[in-house]
A = this chain, B = another copy of it.
Amino acid sequence: MSKRTLIKNCIPEVGKEVIINGWVQTVRSHGKIAFLDVMDRSAIIQVVCTGEQLGDIRPQFVVSIIGIVANRPEKLINPNISTGGIELQANKINILSKAEELPFDMGSKDLNLQLPTLLDYRALTLKHPKVKMIFKIQSALVKEFRKAAEELECEEVFVSAIASGATEGGAEVFSIDYFGHRAFLTQSPQIYKQIMVGALERVFTIAKAYRAEPSVTTRHLTEATQMDIEMAFVTLEELLDSLEFVGVYMVKNVSEKYENILKEFNVEKPLISSTVPRLTLREAQAIITKRTGRNLSGELDLNPEDEKEICAWGKEEHQSDFVTITHFPTKKRAFYTMPDSNNPEYSLSYDLLFRGIEILSGSQRINEYEQLIESMKNKGVNPEKFNIYTMAFKYGMPPEGGFSFGLERLTMKLLDLQNIREASLFPRDMDRIDERLHPVHK
């Protein structure tokens, strides 16, 4: 017996000696006897040891413990954890790695820290069970996204995050010194996924999006993760069907598989109706006006308050946490967006809202070369910075469109987190790269 047993596998080992490895979560010392909660990747277990064995062991010490698995007395059974019926009676505790005294309590159910502290101590706070759950949900969302994308017969592609031009236009872009040349971090994988759709017809990619927005909000990061799909030979209708399919697939499967985590976060199971309600922007605005009396005529987009209101409507009227909004004004959307041929002031664009916030954006794209060049010029984007992109349209680009989910936003809304930074392992914003940045004096 010298091989480690995962904690979850101790349950059938009552009466036997095992070795477990893990992190000490809590220490309750009663002098001669002490109780440790020890956690590994599989589960958590109560360990009983003597005061002598305990020594100076503190929370977050990494230990390897040889002990006998025993049933707990009936009245001490903890029904809330899988190993609540057993405990480990330590024979020997080896310290594999020590931990300094913690700056705050990591042993309570919730980590009640202010956001700056949560992030200042990120390497520590990421070890808290409830923080880890956020990223369990996040990786599950990506997994379900990939499965949905494969059901749509999309092929995965890996594109570059370095470009010669600002891919979404605008000034909010990070510049790189590229061997003496000025290059940029891509604001999205947009131009590359469009090129790839010209080759592979249906693609998906999980990529970083970089936005140098000099503002701090609860729903923006300077580096975010996008889950993108792009498909050729599809109509607006089929695009809407596809994005709703993917959105519902992810949210439904993850919230069913991780019902326990949603409960931990006190969030309701998402409301998913058989069809997602769809509204044009103008229809949505009319509904909001009717509900609130606010006059939205002339507004070119939904503001955060509007998004909340129309989602409240979706929930009340359609029992749906999703609402799809279409036909945003052409002048509000990026150069690659296809105007509606029935009314070119509006575009074949869409957002998917979930619980009061936009979690997806997309459109049917302009696929005709001359129209694209003209649209770029109209939007102040220099086509010469995008020769590789426009080349794809010179050599046969089918009608196509796509969409993009924001992974951190979706994670945030599914768990009802207050700030998107909680849904990013290492969030970047204008004030922080891991550590806080000192103000720049210009």
A397 within 8 Å of B by Cβ?
yes
For A123, give its contact among B392, B433, B440 (CB under 8 Å): B392
A391 within 8 Å of B by Cβ?
yes
Distance in angstroms from A89 CB to nearest chain B CB is 21
A367 within 8 Å of B by Cβ?
yes
- 8 A Cβ contacts from A37-79 to B: 40-41, 60-62
A394 touches B100 (CB 8 A): yes
Instruction: Tell me, in angstroms, the Cα distance from A174 to B178 when the chains sit together.
Output: 7
B142 touches A155 (CB 8 A): no
Nearest opposing residue in chain B for A64, CB measure? B233
For A4, give its contact among B162, B185, B233 (CB under 8 Å): B233
Distance in angstroms from A403 CB to nearest chain B CB is 18
For A181, the chain B residues whose CB sits under 8 A away are 433, 437, 440
Prevailing SS type, chain A contact patch: mixed
Distance in angstroms from A54 CB to nearest chain B CB is 16
Nearest opposing residue in chain B for A185, CB measure? B176
| Chain A interface size, under 10 / 10 to 19 / 20 to 34 / 35 or more | 35 or more
- 8 A Cβ contacts from A152-171 to B: 153, 155-164
Instruction: Tell me, in angstroms, the Cα distance from A185 to B210 when the chains sit together.
Output: 12
Instruction: Tell me, in angstroms, the Cα distance from A302 to B223 when the chains sit together.
Output: 38
A434 touches B387 (CB 8 A): yes
For A387, give its contact among B185, B387, B407, B435 (CB under 8 Å): B435
A442 within 8 Å of B by Cβ?
yes
Instruction: Tell me, in angstroms, the Cα distance from A330 to B161 when the chains sit together.
Output: 33
A97 within 8 Å of B by Cβ?
yes
For A157, give its contact among B139, B222, B367 (CB under 8 Å): B139
A201 touches B124 (CB 8 A): no
Can you show 24 pairs from A to B with CB atoms below 8 A apart? Answer: A23-B398, A40-B201, A41-B155, A97-B368, A97-B398, A98-B396, A99-B394, A99-B396, A100-B395, A123-B389, A123-B391, A124-B395, A126-B196, A126-B198, A127-B199, A138-B158, A142-B156, A162-B428, A164-B434, A179-B214, A179-B437, A180-B440, A181-B433, A181-B437
**A interface residue numbers (CB < 8 A to B):** 4, 21, 23-24, 40-41, 60-62, 96-100, 102, 121-124, 126-127, 132, 135-136, 138-139, 142-143, 153, 155-164, 174-181, 183, 185, 192, 195-196, 198-202, 208, 212, 214, 222-223, 225, 233, 367-368, 387-389, 391-392, 394-399, 407, 425-426, 428, 430, 433-435, 437, 440, 442
